[in-house]
Structure 1
Amino acid sequence: MAEQTVVEQTEAEQTVAGRTVVRHAPGKLFVAGEYAVVEPGTPAILVAVDRHITVTVTGSAGADVVITSDLGARRVPWRWYEGRLVPRALDDEHGARRALAHVVAAVETVARLLAERGLPVPALDITITSRLHEDGRKYGLGSSGAVTVATVDAVAAFCGTELPAGDRFRLALLASAQLDPKGSGGDLAASTFGGWIFYQSPDREFVLDLARRLGVERTLRAPWPGHEVRRLRAPEGLSLQVGWTGEPASTGTMVSGLHRRTWRGSDSHHRFVRTSTDLVHACVEALQGSDREGLLHQIRRARQELARLDDEVGLGIFTPELTSLCEAAEAVGGAGKPSGAGGGDCGIALLDAEASRDISEVRQRWAAAGVLPLPVRPALEGIEE
């Protein structure tokens, strides 16, 4: 993209600059399909949760873009240079770009789309606040995905471009894949669409190459082989309980560790993908048929498959806390498993919604094992104004 500059504002642009646009994007939890979902066309089930990241965009009177965030760097001014955002304080360029990587990538991706449409990007003041963290603690609820989706939608809307949900997701995936093409994008889908969702990832290298060759606009309109996302019915009669282990984990690091191992491409790897695909489809059937016991059985299978993967590859998916979380859920007839890459962060349990004593017992056992029960519920909607 040609160098993006902040042009002198016309009267219409001054009106836009005086606006305030706010977007709230929910976090996510994986229900089934972790690790396998990074393979294009392989399914997973996720649920959006009612903790959000909020992105507020107003006009900036100073730098081309100013980003203020409680996720890391507090307030950083940026300038456009050859289609990229560069921190004005170059002595900490790498630190600022690392702390705000997903926000910057989202702004740059929207700017590419606007440039292709012949539209300017006014000076922006972007503020990010998060309920997916608390006192600096990361819960593992998909903050990177939520902030990417919220930033894409807020910046586009501020610049006068309203995005349908599908475009919002695709722009967010293009932004995220630039940073890490190994990420599945499931977190982006949950933040975009909300509720319980069935998700299959596209080939991220394919869509990045498409964007390089054809541009962002045409990539949004092109088919993305393997990609699918649709809403699912919420499970009936089951309560989703979430426990935080107190240990932050890096999904990117865990997935990268798997990609570096010779296990990938082996017979065991193919068996894992097939089994994960089978159990995800079985979960979908159970949800559609309101088959509570069938769903619990598949969630227990998902836990067993992750344990087998952990034994074979040695990623450290299961910590003592996550193991205790699962065992407590199964002890009362429920099902529990790590949510996401494991190694810390959160685990989930599905328990009889009417068995309040069992739910209380599980939460007490979690607390005794060092697992903090989180007061989160499924978010029925995706990104909101």
Structure 2
Amino acid sequence: MTGRRTVVRHAPGKLFIAGEYAVLEPGHPAILVAVDRQISVTVSAAEGADAVIDSDLCPGETHLGRGDGGLTGLGADDERQARAGLTHVVSAIDVIEALLAERELTVPPLHLSIRSGLHHDGTKIGLGSSGAVTVAVVDAVAAYCGIDLSPDARFRLAMLATARLAPQSSGGDLAASVWGGWIAYQAPDRTAVLDMARRSGIAETLRAPWPGFGLRRLPPPRRLVLEVGWTGRPASSTSLAGRLGAGDWRGSPSQRNFLARSDECVGASIRALGQGDDDELLRRIRDARRMLADLDGEAHLGIFTPELTALCDTAESFGGAAKPSGAGGGDCGIALLDAGAEKEIAQLREGWGAAGVLPLPVHVQPAKPTQGSAS
């Protein structure tokens, strides 16, 4: 291991285009894009602690020590670690440490500097900051320790780090951060993957097939532009998804119906992208909005806030298609419109502003090189 050079890695955020909630179930597809805002992680040598983390989202430094259960805060930094939202960072480091331990190697003392472009004045805006920081930390720490990760290995390590904390998380944000561009994604069975890691170790789990997992690149729409609006309200995807799974939803006729509708909608959207049929894609995005509205009406999750409803209605009034992006309850919404309709796009942004929705200057991050992509 090198252990003494400085390593910098970046990971973009994401937006869901279609397939939210259904993608939580292994093997059910969703469409996501990576965005041109990112998390940056710089790793260098640390002194006085096993890991030192400084983040622009939390003043000062957090000092961590390594114990039997992995990294924990030292003294007052134990509470600070949780308060600063560093659990995903710590889990990512722990996964790399476990991989190295299987090779009878250790992680040297680390100083991590984290900078986020996925927040607005310190508030998350629903672009997958937790997923992006997990991917960036996995990539940076592995590189600092002399490990060159393929995109597939980077995703799998980030998925293991995430599933340890939140096994209900689909990992779609991780996949978008790793591969970039437009992707179709199916989540693995996280329980099976975690069991595999416990039984067989990290290295073997990286090589083994993962039940349910699928990923393919998609072409972008031919003549449509993606507009993004932020409601100004942060939302917890984990909390909303947890509320859906807490009742009698799983395995119910309502869930089976929703999954079937979502799979059909996402599948048709994938075909529309492949065929360059923008009109069909717009119809399917409107279908996706209706499905989320039906789910909201049945499960009372609070997916649609007044701002998200206004975001969607305004876009449709100008000939576009729009929906919440992700779990809803706040965060962002997306709209697709004719890229040549400059007047309508300007009016859309004005309408959003009047409804309390902030138009975000966000674009799709181009796809990364194809080497190591999953199929």
Match of 2:343 among 357, 372, 376: 357
Conserved? CA contact 2:62–2:80, under 8 Å: no
2:193 aligned with 1:203: no
1:37 deviates by 0.3
Give CA deviations for 1:323-349 in whole Å, capped at 9, x if unaligned.
011111111111000000000000000
Per the alignment, residue 81 of structure 2 pairs with: 96
Match of 1:321 among 273, 293, 307: 307
- C-alpha spacing 1:244/1:280, structure 2 compared with 1 (3 Å): same
Per the alignment, residue 134 of structure 2 pairs with: 148
Conserved? CA contact 1:49–1:378, under 8 Å: yes
1:382 deviates by 5.1
State the TM-score, normalized to the length of structure 1: 0.94
Give CA deviations for 1:233-283 in whole Å, capped at 9, x if unaligned.
011100000000011001111111111122332111110011001100100
One-letter amino acid of the counterpart of residue 186, structure 1 = G
Per the alignment, residue 146 of structure 2 pairs with: 160
Per the alignment, residue 5 of structure 1 pairs with: none
Match of 1:330 among 316, 320, 326: 316
Per the alignment, residue 290 of structure 1 pairs with: 276
**Local SS of the residue matching 2:64:** strand
One-letter amino acid of the counterpart of residue 78, structure 2 = E
In structure 1, how many angstroms separate the alpha carbons of the residues matched to 2:195 and 2:273? Answer: 36
Match of 1:61 among 43, 47, 59: 47
**Local SS of the residue matching 1:17:** coil
CA-atom RMSD in angstroms: 1.2
**Local SS of the residue matching 1:271:** helix
In structure 1, how many angstroms separate the alpha carbons of the residues matched to 2:206 and 2:57? Answer: 29
1:79 deviates by 1.0
Unaligned runs of 5+ in 1: 1-12
Unaligned runs of 5+ in 2: 370-375
Q: How many residues are matched?
A: 368
One-letter amino acid of the counterpart of residue 11, structure 2 = A
Per the alignment, residue 260 of structure 1 pairs with: 246
Give CA deviations for 1:341-361 in whole Å, capped at 9, x if unaligned.
000000000000000001011
Conserved? CA contact 1:83–1:112, under 8 Å: no
2:115 aligned with 1:129: yes
Conserved? CA contact 2:131–2:177, under 8 Å: yes
Per the alignment, residue 6 of structure 1 pairs with: none
One-letter amino acid of the counterpart of residue 268, structure 2 = A
Give CA deviations for 1:126-151 in whole Å, capped at 9, x if unaligned.
11000001211211100000000000
In structure 2, how many angstroms separate the alpha carbons of the residues matched to 1:28 and 1:74? Answer: 28
2:35 aligned with 1:49: yes
2:342 aligned with 1:376: no
In structure 1, how many angstroms separate the alpha carbons of the residues matched to 2:98 and 2:69? Answer: 8
2:283 aligned with 1:309: no
1:119 deviates by 1.8
One-letter amino acid of the counterpart of residue 97, structure 1 = A
2:166 aligned with 1:184: no
In structure 2, how many angstroms separate the alpha carbons of the residues matched to 1:148 and 1:73? Answer: 20
**Local SS of the residue matching 1:52:** strand
In structure 2, how many angstroms separate the alpha carbons of the residues matched to 1:236 and 1:295? Answer: 11
